[in-house]
Amino acid sequence: MAEVPGPALDPGKDAAPGAPVIRLENVYKNYDLGEVQVHALRSVSFSVQTGEFVAVMGASGSGKSTLMNILGCLDRPTRGSYFLDGIDVSGMSKTELAHIRNRKLGFVFQQFNLLSRTSALENVALPTVYAGLPQAERDKRAHEALERVGLSDRADHNPSQLSGGQQQRVAIARALVNRPAILLADEPTGNLDSRTSVEIMEILQSLNEEQGLTVVLVTHEPDIALYTKRMLEFRDGKLRRDAQVTGRLFARDVLPNLPTVDELDLADAVPPPEPPKPSQD
Ligand code: ADP
Ligand code: MG
């Protein structure tokens, strides 16, 4: 495997403006199960520019998670090339991939994957430990990231003291704390009710719109994909459709029309109509 020259690993050295932040060329991924080989990705090619918001869609088993593992430098293609921010990462060692992952990528999962007996602030600060930042800078960044997701007032709470939506917001803050080039989210709304899902999409949309953060999100829900800008549809390990989203939804417009949890509870609690009172005369 070829050694990667030092400067390519410099996190401050980004690709030329206009160059795609993600570029896959004929990527294959096979899982070797002894007797049989599973062809999880079959010659997948596409590019993503900085500032895009992409939904990865497809039935269970179509290769979405395999793709995300490769995009997230958690796994390597069997064949083909992956350029991340202009750097060919397909031949990198696990150590080099871990380095790139920490610098360039933020991850959000369906299970929030927070440490349970650890405050929201400490959960968010965790990736800065591996990035080797000084304590003061780590605290500052963790507070900023929590503020970004509207949870400054919950910094001292443990995950068990937070709702599902709040836990996912902590997980988003944790994904942002090292200022990644790309946010990768695998079914981030999979465990949330419909209003909370839209609240999470509101945060992702504002990060994308206001900070130009590139977001790649796996979802099997067409409703959720409508909040993104582009859909990539996979079937049997192949990219079958690549289209801009038409009829895009904006969470900030949709939310005012969705009932809050309190309103739903209230609707459930409405007492049955009272029987007519006997007339007085
Ligand atoms: P999706 O996320 O769309 O459900 P996956 O990427 O998880 O799809 O899986 C794609 C195919 O690869 C499936 O047939 C699955 O069984 C197989 N697969 C995924 N991960 C592994 C693995 N670690 N070992 C063997 N086969 C796997
Ligand atoms: Mg999956």
User: pTM here?
Assistant: 0.87
d(CA 159, CA 67): 29
Q: Is 65 in the pocket of ligand 1 (CB under 6 A)?
A: yes
Q: Which pLDDT score, from 0 to 100, does residue 239 have? A: 98
CA atoms within 13 A on the CB side of 181: 22
What is the pLDDT tens value at each position of the chain, 281 positions in all?
444 443 333 434 454 566 799 999 999 999 999 999 999 999 999 999 999 999 999 999 999 999 999 999 999 999 999 999 999 999 899 999 999 998 899 999 999 999 999 999 999 999 998 878 899 999 999 999 999 999 999 999 999 999 999 999 999 999 999 999 999 999 999 999 999 999 999 999 999 999 999 999 999 999 999 999 999 999 999 999 999 999 999 999 999 999 887 777 777 766 666 766 766 66
Distance between Cα 64 and ligand 2 center (Å): 5
Report which protein residue has its CA nearest ligand 1's atom 20: 66
CA atoms within 13 A on the CB side of 279: 1
Distance between Cα 102 and ligand 1 center (Å): 24
Q: Which pLDDT score, from 0 to 100, does residue 60 have? A: 93
Q: Which pLDDT score, from 0 to 100, does residue 278 have? A: 67
Order of strands across the sheet that contains 79-84:
36-48, 22-33, 79-84, 87-88
Q: Is 58 in the pocket of ligand 1 (CB under 6 A)?
A: yes
Q: Which pLDDT score, from 0 to 100, does residue 207 have? A: 96
Q: Is 180 in the pocket of ligand 1 (CB under 6 A)?
A: no
* Secondary structure of the chain as H, E, C letters: CCCCCHHHHCCCCCCCCCCCCEEEEEEEEEEEECCEEEEEEEEEEEEECCCCEEEEEECCCCCHHHHHHHHCCCCCCCEEEEEECCEECCCCCHHHHHHHHHHHEEEEECCCCCCCCCCHHHHHHHHHHHCCCCHHHHHHHHHHHHHHCCCHHHCCCCHHHCCHHHHHHHHHHHHHCCCCCEEEEECCCCCCCHHHHHHHHHHHHHHHHHHCCEEEEECCCHHHHCCCCEEEEEECCEEEEEEECCCCCCHHHHHHHCCCHHHHHHHHHCCCCCCCCCCCC
Q: Which pLDDT score, from 0 to 100, does residue 117 have? A: 95
Q: Is 60 in the pocket of ligand 1 (CB under 6 A)?
A: yes
Distance between Cα 240 and ligand 2 center (Å): 17
The closest of 145, 155, 254, 121 to 199, measured between CA atoms, is: 254
Query: Topology of 19-112+181-269 in CATH?
Result: Rossmann fold (3.40.50)
CA atoms within 13 A on the CB side of 151: 30
pLDDT in tens, 62-85: 999 999 999 999 999 999 999 999
Q: Which pLDDT score, from 0 to 100, does residue 19 have? A: 79
